[in-house]
Structure 1
Amino acid sequence: MGVIEESRSAWSSPIVLTPKPEGTDRFCNDFRKLNEVSKFDAYPMPRVDELIERLGPARFVTTLDLTKGYWQVPLTKEAKEKTAFSTPDGLYHYKVLPFGVHGAPATFQHMMDQILCPHREYAATYLDDIIIHSPDWTSHLGHLGTVLGALRHAGLTANPKKCHLGLEEAEYLGYTIGRGSVRPQLRKVEAITTWPKPATKRQVKTFLGLVGYYQCFIPHLATMPAPLHKMTEIKHPHHVLCSVEAEEAFTFLQKALCTEPVLNTPDFGDTLVVHADASGTGLGAVLSQARGGEEHPVTYCILAVSCKNMKGIIQQWKKNAWRLNGP
Structure 2
Amino acid sequence: KSDDIALFDLILEHANVQQRFHRMSQENASKTDSKGSKVEKKPQRAASSKPPPPRTSTPAAAASGGTTPSTPRPTRAPPHDGCLVCKGSHWMNDCPVATDAQREEALKQFREAKEKRLSARSKMDGLSLPRARTPDDISTLTQLLDRAVANGLPAEYVDAVRELLEAFPDVWREAVGADPPANIDPLQVTIQSGAVPHRSSPRKYAPMQAQFIRDYVKSLVDSGLVEQNNASRWACAVVPVRKPGTQDKFRLTIDYRPVNKVTVPIAGTMPSTATTLNALEGMKVFGRVNFTQGFWQLPLHEDSREVFSFVTPDGVYSPTRVPQGAMDSALHFQSQIQAKLAPLIPKSALVWVDDVILFAPTIPEFLETLRVFFGIVQAANFKLNAAKSSLFELEIKWCGRLISSDGIRHDPERVSALAELPLPSTIAELQYFVCATNWLHDSLPDYARLIAPLQDKLNAERKRIGRRNRNALNVATSWTGDEEAAFDSVVNLVWDSALMAFPDPAAEMLLFTDASALGYSIIVTQVRNWDPLLPVDQQQHEMIVCKFSSTPRKTGRWWKRRRSRSLKLAAILNTSFFVHLDSGCTVTTRIWRTFLRLELSSRNTSETACSAGRCVSVVYTM
TM-score (norm. length: structure 1): 0.92
Q: CA deviation at 1:314?
A: 3.8
Instruction: Give the match for residue 247 of structure 1.
Output: 484
Aligned-partner Cα distance in 2 for 1:71–1:12: 19
Q: CA deviation at 1:308?
A: 6.8
Instruction: Give the match for residue 277 of structure 1.
Output: 514
Instruction: Give the match for residue 17 of structure 1.
Output: 240
1:254-296 deviations in Å (ceiling 9; x for gaps): 2223223311033589886432113443311112334344542
Instruction: Give the match for residue 413 of structure 2.
Output: 187
Report the secondary structure of 2:446's partner residue: coil
Contact 1:281 1:307 in 2 (8 A): no
Aligned-partner Cα distance in 2 for 1:264–1:87: 52
Unaligned runs of 5+ in 2: 1-176, 178-222, 466-474, 531-539, 564-601, 614-622
Partner amino acid, structure 1, of 2:350:
A
Aligned-partner Cα distance in 1 for 2:304–2:526: 50
Structure 1 range deviating more: 316-325 or 279-288: 316-325
Aligned-partner Cα distance in 1 for 2:504–2:385: 32
Is 1:213–2:439 an aligned residue pair? yes
Partner amino acid, structure 2, of 1:122:
S
Aligned-partner Cα distance in 2 for 1:184–1:217: 8
Q: Which has the larger radius of gyration?
A: 2
Partner amino acid, structure 2, of 1:4:
V
Instruction: Give the match for residue 393 of structure 2.
Output: 167
Contact 2:507 2:528 in 1 (8 A): no
Given candidates 492, 501, 513, the residue that maps to 1:264 is 501
Contact 1:223 1:281 in 2 (8 A): no
1:4-32 deviations in Å (ceiling 9; x for gaps): 11123221111122233222332211111
Aligned-partner Cα distance in 1 for 2:263–2:366: 42
Instruction: Give the match for residue 89 of structure 1.
Output: 314
Aligned-partner Cα distance in 2 for 1:72–1:292: 50
Report the secondary structure of 2:235's partner residue: coil
Instruction: Give the match for residue 291 of structure 1.
Output: 528
Is 1:229–2:455 an aligned residue pair? yes
Aligned-partner Cα distance in 2 for 1:308–1:15: 42
Is 1:176–2:402 an aligned residue pair? yes
Given candidates 132, 139, 142, the residue that maps to 2:365 is 139
Q: CA deviation at 1:51?
A: 2.4
Instruction: Give the match for residue 4 of structure 1.
Output: 226
Instruction: Give the match for residue 57 of structure 1.
Output: 282
Aligned-partner Cα distance in 2 for 1:224–1:275: 19
Which of structures 1 and 2 has the larger relative contact order (alpha carbons within 8 angstroms, sep 6+)?
1
Instruction: Give the match for residue 74 of structure 2.
Output: none
Q: CA deviation at 1:192?
A: 0.6
Aligned-partner Cα distance in 1 for 2:388–2:555: 47
Q: CA deviation at 1:299?
A: 2.6
Aligned-partner Cα distance in 1 for 2:263–2:320: 18
Partner amino acid, structure 2, of 1:130:
V
Aligned-partner Cα distance in 2 for 1:33–1:235: 28
Unaligned runs of 5+ in 1: none
1:126-151 deviations in Å (ceiling 9; x for gaps): 11111112111111111122122212
Partner amino acid, structure 2, of 1:291:
R
Aligned-partner Cα distance in 2 for 1:115–1:269: 36
Report the secondary structure of 1:96's partner residue: coil
Change (3 A) 1:90 1:260: closer
Contact 1:62 1:164 in 2 (8 A): yes
Change (3 A) 1:303 1:72: same
Instruction: Give the match for residue 323 of structure 1.
Output: 610
Aligned-partner Cα distance in 2 for 1:268–1:70: 42
Contact 1:201 1:231 in 2 (8 A): no
Partner amino acid, structure 2, of 1:323:
C
Q: CA deviation at 1:90?
A: 1.1
Matched positions, count: 326
Which structure 1 residue ranges, 4+ long, deviate > 6 Å from structure 2?
Answer: 268-271
Structure 1 range deviating more: 126-135 or 17-26: 17-26
RMSD value, Cα: 2.3
Structure 1 range deviating more: 243-252 or 103-112: 243-252
Instruction: Give the match for residue 546 of structure 2.
Output: 300
Contact 1:6 1:91 in 2 (8 A): yes
Aligned-partner Cα distance in 2 for 1:220–1:190: 19
Contact 2:360 2:366 in 1 (8 A): yes
Partner amino acid, structure 2, of 1:282:
G
Q: CA deviation at 1:220?
A: 0.8
Percent pairwise identity = 23
TM-score (norm. length: structure 2): 0.50
- Higher strand proportion, which one? 1
